[in-house]
């Protein structure tokens, strides 16, 4: 290092920022951590990348120490012998391709997870591997990266400026990683704060030194990563802020359950054949877009399902725990609520498989709720579901293919079955309190004496509800979505009006709509216009 810091013929000193270029290439390979195992990365770095880097830099340093008085331009290829210069050039091009691929794959993964958490506009995500769900491809982001690469190359026309931009970006990533690791030490590893502080001071001081050296080159190309970071942060902040405000508007303008139960022939409301899936972000209550739909078109489907799709901050949700089903009103109303939970790395189903599985889960819930309401479920040997309670409307039950669990009032909870940590999770905590789930075996117990007379009537009620469900499925399914337009309310600040009226609406118009994201067929789509004043 001291040899690199010696005076050159031009009388200047090589900055610490230039040394960063020694690690930027090797740092890029760690972007593949989301696609390869730790062992693969460690073996590749230990036995291939690290020896190659050491040999390359040692050879260049030896050449410079011997010929520093005769060379006029310091470069890597000057130190490469003529006989192997072309092979080295080909290997360098392949290495740059691999490094850029790692950065692109890392960008796709981050955008996909940010979109699942409601922090980025909806874009098309293509899962390129049926078995490994982490491998994704985002066409829009790929085109944007290509355009940015071409623009930077044409704009800078100098490897020095591009090196300065790369060095500052790498050091910024390292500083952010160090700060976040300090939080992980305290929150996840449960270590004393002094350990996190020592970690932050030791690594942070070194990284801050190199970051300040890179920041000196701000006007010589280092401004580019800062500009791109500010742009992306602005886009994510505007989208996340407007999404939260939309959810709060839905929450405060939802319709009561009594209003839905009052709808009937006396008010001129007709029930048409089929299944109506009303997509909403609410986990309780009737969304305002449904009341707008009924007001303008006084009819809705014989079977009504309020579907809420939630992304949670865990990678995967087991299929047996994905569907939470409950009733909205009495059984004769044929209205249900279904909360579908996806992890941020889960693959969303196609509309055909989703519709079929949803109907199957509704049928399982109808059977379970019927037997439970008539006291035919008791502690025993067979399992069929897992239950969680809601403080409003009716009970929500996790319906799956795994053994059942029954919640008892005097049981001590061992785990939590419901937990939403995306948009509106704090507000939902008021309406749907997580209830612990305790393992309990259940069985279908039938009393051959006292209940023998009531069983035929009970079976008829169950059969009628199941027949109505399957007949509605045969009649067709309609998907009801809200087509929203958001505007800032009167008296809002200039920044809020710019962010909502122009920024968010521009992003919403140019990103994927919810119908495309949910893979809704256009022939079955019903859109209800809504104006949100936030």
- Average pLDDT of span 155-177: 83
C-alpha distances in Å from residue 221, one per residue of 27, 161, 168, 172, 383: 20, 4, 9, 15, 64
Q: What is the pLDDT of residues 94-128, one digit of tens each?
A: 877 877 777 788 888 888 888 878 889 988 888 77
Q: What is the mean pLDDT of the chain?
A: 75
Token digits of residue 187: 């929150």
Q: What is the pLDDT of residues 205-229, one digit of tens each?
A: 988 888 888 888 888 888 998 999 9
C-beta of residue 142 within 8 angstroms of C-beta of residue 101 = no
Other Cβ atoms within 10 Å of 92 Cβ, number: 15
More confident residue, 400 or 425: 400
Are 263 and 216 within one domain? no
Are 286 and 196 within one domain? no
Are 343 and 373 within one domain? yes
Are 384 and 516 within one domain? yes
More confident residue, 67 or 189: 189
* Strand, helix or coil for residue 391: coil
DSSP letter at 414? -
DSSP letter at 286? B
Are 307 and 197 within one domain? no
Domain span at residue 220? 16-233
The answer to the question of residue 114 being in a domain is: yes
The pLDDT-based confidence of 239 (bands split at 50, 70, 90) is very high
The answer to the question of residue 40 being in a domain is: yes
Residue 22 confidence (pLDDT) above 50: yes
Most confident of 29-33, 68-72, 171-175: 171-175
The answer to the question of residue 182 being in a domain is: yes
Are 209 and 155 within one domain? yes
More confident residue, 73 or 235: 235
Going 501 to 506 to 509 to 512, the CA torsion angle's sign is: negative
Q: Assign residue 335 a region: left if phi > 0, alpha if psi is -120 to 50, beta otherwise?
A: beta
How buried is 260 (Cβ within 10 angstroms: 0-12 exposed, 13-18 middle, 19+ buried)?
A: buried
Residue where a domain stops, chosen among 233, 257, 280: 233
Beta partners for residue 299, in sequence order:
270
**CA–CA separation, 271 vs 263, rounded Å?**
10
The answer to the question of residue 3 being in a domain is: no
**CA–CA separation, 126 vs 430, rounded Å?**
36
Are 519 and 491 within one domain? yes
C-beta of residue 195 within 8 angstroms of C-beta of residue 184 = no
**Between β-strands 299-312 and 270-279, what pairing exists: parallel, antiparallel or unpaired?**
parallel
C-beta of residue 283 within 8 angstroms of C-beta of residue 251 = no
- Average pLDDT of span 509-525: 76
Residue 185 confidence (pLDDT) above 90: yes
Most confident of 88-92, 199-203, 441-445, 459-463: 199-203
Residue where a domain stops, chosen among 202, 233, 264: 233
- Average pLDDT of span 375-382: 51
C-beta of residue 428 within 8 angstroms of C-beta of residue 409 = no
* Exposure of 529 in the CB half-sphere (CA atoms within 13 A): 1
- Average pLDDT of span 444-463: 56
Ranges of H-type helices in 32-138 = 38-44, 50-67, 85-116
C-beta of residue 414 within 8 angstroms of C-beta of residue 436 = yes
How buried is 28 (Cβ within 10 angstroms: 0-12 exposed, 13-18 middle, 19+ buried)?
A: buried
289-321 in b/e form (b: 16+ CB < 10 A) is bbbebbeeeeebbbbbbbbbbbbbeeeebeeee
Residue where a domain stops, chosen among 184, 209, 233: 233
* Strand, helix or coil for residue 203: helix
Overall pTM surpassing 0.75 (yes/no) = no
The answer to the question of residue 11 being in a domain is: no
What's the confidence (pLDDT) of residue 343? 80
The answer to the question of residue 10 being in a domain is: no
C-beta of residue 2 within 8 angstroms of C-beta of residue 145 = no
Are 298 and 440 within one domain? yes
- Average pLDDT of span 306-323: 83
Are 201 and 268 within one domain? no
DSSP letter at 501? I
The answer to the question of residue 323 being in a domain is: yes
Are 388 and 422 within one domain? yes
Q: What is the pLDDT of residues 428-450, one digit of tens each?
A: 333 333 333 333 333 333 344 44
Residue 23 confidence (pLDDT) above 70: no
Q: What is the pLDDT of residues 51-68, one digit of tens each?
A: 887 888 888 888 888 877
Q: What is the pLDDT of residues 383-424, one digit of tens each?
A: 444 444 343 455 677 776 433 333 333 333 333 333 333 333
By percentage, how much of the chain surpasses pLDDT 70?
A: 75
C-beta of residue 1 within 8 angstroms of C-beta of residue 19 = yes
The answer to the question of residue 4 being in a domain is: no
The pLDDT-based confidence of 166 (bands split at 50, 70, 90) is confident
Are 299 and 397 within one domain? yes
Kindly report each contact of residues 150-153 with a partner whose C-beta sits within 8 Å and lies 24 or more positions away, as own/partner. 152/224
Indicate the number of domains in the chain.
Answer: 2
Are 78 and 182 within one domain? yes
What's the confidence (pLDDT) of residue 413? 30
> Of 57, 1, 65, 4, which Cα lies nearest the Cα of 26?
57
């Amino acid at each position: 290092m001291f040899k690199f810091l010696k005076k050159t013929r031009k009388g200047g000193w090589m900055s610490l920022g230039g040394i960063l270029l020694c690690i930027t290439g090797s740092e890029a390979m760690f972007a593949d951590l989301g696609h390869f195992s730790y062992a693969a990365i460690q073996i590749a770095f230990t036995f291939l990348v690290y020896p190659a880097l050491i040999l390359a830099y040692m050879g260049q340093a030896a050449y410079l120490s011997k010929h520093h008085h005769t060379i006029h331009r310091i470069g890597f290829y000057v130190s490469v012998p003529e006989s192997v210069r072309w092979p080295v050039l080909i290997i360098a091009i392949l290495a740059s391709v691999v490094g850029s691929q790692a950065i692109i794959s890392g960008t796709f993964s981050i955008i996909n997870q940010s979109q699942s958490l409601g922090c980025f506009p909806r874009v098309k995500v293509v899962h390129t591997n049926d078995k490994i769900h982490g491998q994704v491809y985002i066409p829009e982001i790929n085109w944007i990266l290509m355009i940015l690469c071409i623009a930077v190359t044409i704009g800078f026309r100098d490897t020095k400026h591009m090196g300065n931009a790369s060095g500052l970006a790498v050091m910024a990533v390292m500083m952010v990683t160090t700060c976040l690791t300090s939080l992980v030490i305290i929150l996840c590893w449960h270590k004393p704060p002094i350990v996190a502080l020592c970690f932050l001071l030791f690594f942070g001081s070194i990284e801050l030194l190199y970051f300040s050296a890179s920041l000196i080159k701000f006007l010589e190309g280092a401004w580019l990563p800062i500009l791109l970071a500010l742009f992306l942060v602005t886009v994510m902040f505007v989208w996340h802020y407007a999404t939260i405000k939309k959810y709060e508007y839905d929450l405060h303008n939802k319709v009561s359950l009594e209003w839905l139960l009052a709808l009937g022939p006396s008010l001129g409301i007709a029930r048409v054949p089929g299944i109506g899936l009303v997509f909403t972000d609410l986990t309780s209550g009737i969304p305002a877009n449904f009341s707008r739909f009924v007001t303008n078109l006084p009819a809705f489907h014989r079977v009504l399902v309020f579907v809420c799709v939630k992304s949670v901050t865990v990678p995967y949700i087991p299929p047996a725990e994905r569907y939470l089903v409950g009733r909205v009103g009495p059984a004769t109303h044929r209205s249900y609520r279904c909360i579908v939970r996806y992890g941020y790395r889960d693959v969303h189903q196609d509309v055909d498989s989703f519709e079929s599985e949803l109907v199957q889960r509704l049928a399982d819930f109808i059977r379970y709720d019927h037997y439970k309401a008539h006291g035919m479920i008791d502690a025993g040997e067979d399992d069929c579901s897992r239950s969680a309670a809601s403080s409003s409307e009716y009970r929500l039950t996790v319906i799956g293919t795994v053994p059942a669990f029954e919640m008892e009032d005097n049981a001590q909870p061992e785990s939590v079955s419901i937990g939403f940590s995306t948009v509106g999770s704090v507000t939902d905590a008021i309406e749907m309190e997580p209830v612990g789930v305790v393992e309990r075996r259940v069985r279908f117990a039938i009393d051959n004496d006292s209940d023998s007379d009531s069983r035929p009537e009970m079976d008829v009620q169950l059969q009628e509800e199941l027949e109505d469900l399957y007949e509605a499925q045969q009649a067709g399914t309609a998907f009801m979505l809200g087509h929203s337009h958001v505007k800032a309310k009167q008296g809002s600040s200039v920044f809020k009006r710019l962010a909502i009226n122009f920024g968010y609406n521009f992003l919403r118009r140019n990103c994927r709509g919810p119908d495309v994201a949910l893979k809704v067929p256009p022939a079955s789509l019903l859109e209800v216009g809504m104006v949100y004043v936030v």
